Structure 1
Amino acid sequence: MELEKTLQMNTLFSFYGPLLTKKQQEYMQLYYGEDYSLGEIAEDFEISRQAVYDNVRRSETILLDYEAKLHLVEDFDYKQRVLDEARTYALETYPNDSTLLELLQEVSYEPKREGK
Structure 2
Amino acid sequence: MAYSALDTYGVSPGHTLVIPRRHVASFFDLAPEEVSACMALITEERKLLDEKFKPDGYNIGVNVGTAAGQSIYHVHIHIIPRYEGDVENPQGGVRHVIPKNAHYTR
Q: TM-score, normalised by structure 1?
A: 0.29
Q: TM-score, normalised by structure 2?
A: 0.32
Higher percent of residues as strand: 2
Larger Rg computed on CA atoms: 1
Higher percent of residues as helix: 1
